[in-house]
Chain A
């Protein structure tokens, strides 16, 4: 029983990364209709930005939580203005290919500089140690990751549901053509929305830096599962991506305990079942 509780906790922590990543993907897909394949690479850049800010400028983890996502978002805006926007009018497949190519470029650039093993980064002293609860030991840093990610997801949900910007994003997601005809310059909102989605990926990278090895391929391992989560949750659904992110984190963790060989396959089995029963995903609607 206690072991189960601990595994659910670890699953939720893993789910926190999935939730931030798939939320960013969902926001970007909704507004741009772009399947951003380089999302994992941007997560990786977030982790490296944290490491570089720390080693070369002495920036603390706390400041990196703000500065690294801003820096990676700036990279994202440059890539969007330089490359992505030229392909909005053609088949979405082209942007998938483009972002796949950019992923390889970003990964190999970091590999040339840092090698394949990656670099270590330690958690701030405030978050070291663990909180003991009965016989259970909860690492403080993991608790922080979980709490912080839930906070960011709630904040994003609030912005999308309750602000004018969020209303425009919802309208443009549902029907970009009509939204333009109602006097809204949809295209003006594309770079900031893209930057926001990228910042979420980078933020997940910052949170990952002290927990996982900071390495050029750290995003590649995660992105495939993240895509499965977005499909399960319903393409472009904000709520769906967050809920499914946490759900899949827990499922993978439990699978690893009870029957390790299927742990990584479980997500895709779930995806296949959901696609059969609800082709639009758990929270999606068919257009």
Chain B
């Protein structure tokens, strides 16, 4: 589904990505793990087309994304959930949901969304940012499901959430997987990552240095935790 080869990225003069390689197959959940500042968010923003100062190959189902603007990439079926959730305070919960265009017939309709995320139905008319952190996270994910995205880019969806809500995000991810959607997940929490993902990439100083299975992550947990600086 998505291949990233030799991705490099810059902020002005300073290079932050020095060579990110990863491959995600249809229906997989793949995580990017690494410490703060390693380049995880820049990788996601480069795939999404938001970060423009970059070089390398970004191929989505045979289409080269490298030169496309974000709105075109979104319309190819890439759903972006940014690390602060990106809920609009000037839009109601309902408007936050229906803002993106529906880009594929597989998009969830509103009934399905509200059945899966009941708190959103109850608060549909309230400003989006009146929701709790966990509810905002649900809204941000629900928004791209309604769009009909086939590849979801989730930037730390569990960050700052209470343990019970982290479990809820895990359930949502398994449900997404049951619908044969594909996910690239930025995650710091290794224990959580192995419960939801199929494969992992470790990113250090702007480079993917290891490609790991769940078993390898579990076996080398201590060593990896040191990499993450936890």
Give chain A's interface residues, CB within 8 Å of chain B. 167-168, 170-171, 173-175, 177-186, 285
Find A184's partner among B48, B90, B99 (CB 8 Å cutoff).
Answer: B99
Residues B99 and A168 in contact, CB atoms below 8 Å apart = yes
26 interchain pairs (CB within 8 A)?
Answer: A167-B95, A170-B91, A171-B90, A173-B90, A174-B88, A174-B89, A174-B91, A175-B86, A177-B50, A177-B70, A178-B82, A180-B69, A181-B48, A181-B70, A181-B71, A181-B82, A182-B80, A182-B100, A182-B143, A183-B71, A183-B75, A183-B100, A183-B103, A184-B101, A185-B71, A285-B89
Cβ-based interface call for B49 (8 A): yes
> Chain A binding site: helix, strand, loop or mixed by DSSP?
helix
CB distance from B18 to the nearest CB of A (A): 24
Residues A171 and B101 in contact, CB atoms below 8 Å apart = no
* Chain A residues within 8 Å of B50, by CB: 177, 180-181
* Chain A residues within 8 Å of B91, by CB: 167, 170-171, 174
CA distance A283 to B69 in the complex (A): 33
* Number of residue pairs A-B, CB distance < 8 angstroms: 60
Q: C-beta contact mask, B187-219 vs A, less than 8 Å → 1, else 0? A: 000000000000000000000000000000000
Q: C-beta contact mask, B64-75 vs A, less than 8 Å → 1, else 0? A: 000001110111
Counting chain B residues whose Cβ lies within 8 A of the other chain, the interface size class is: 20 to 34
Residues B90 and A170 in contact, CB atoms below 8 Å apart = yes
CB distance from A285 to the nearest CB of B (A): 8
Question: Within residues 92 to 132 of chain B, which ones have a CB less than 8 A from any CB in chain A?
Answer: 95, 98-101, 103
Residues B74 and A182 in contact, CB atoms below 8 Å apart = yes
Cβ-based interface call for B147 (8 A): yes
CA distance A222 to B86 in the complex (A): 38
* Chain A residues within 8 Å of B89, by CB: 174, 285
CB distance from A184 to the nearest CB of B (A): 6
* Chain A residues within 8 Å of B70, by CB: 177, 180-181
CA distance A62 to B4 in the complex (A): 61
Apart from the given pairs A167-B91, A174-B90, A183-B100, 13 other A-B contacts in the complex at a CB distance below 8 Å: A170-B90, A174-B89, A178-B82, A178-B86, A180-B70, A181-B73, A181-B80, A181-B82, A182-B80, A182-B147, A184-B101, A185-B71, A186-B71
* Chain A residues within 8 Å of B49, by CB: 181
* Chain B residues within 8 Å of A171, by CB: 88, 90-91, 99
With most chain A CB atoms within 10 A of its CB, the pick from B82, B90, B98 is B90
* Chain B residues within 8 Å of A181, by CB: 48-50, 70-71, 73-74, 80, 82
CB distance from A156 to the nearest CB of B (A): 15
* Chain A residues within 8 Å of B86, by CB: 175, 178
CA distance A174 to B86 in the complex (A): 10
Residues A183 and B95 in contact, CB atoms below 8 Å apart = no
Residues A175 and B88 in contact, CB atoms below 8 Å apart = yes
Q: C-beta contact mask, B30-69 vs A, less than 8 Å → 1, else 0? A: 0000000000000000001110000000000000000001
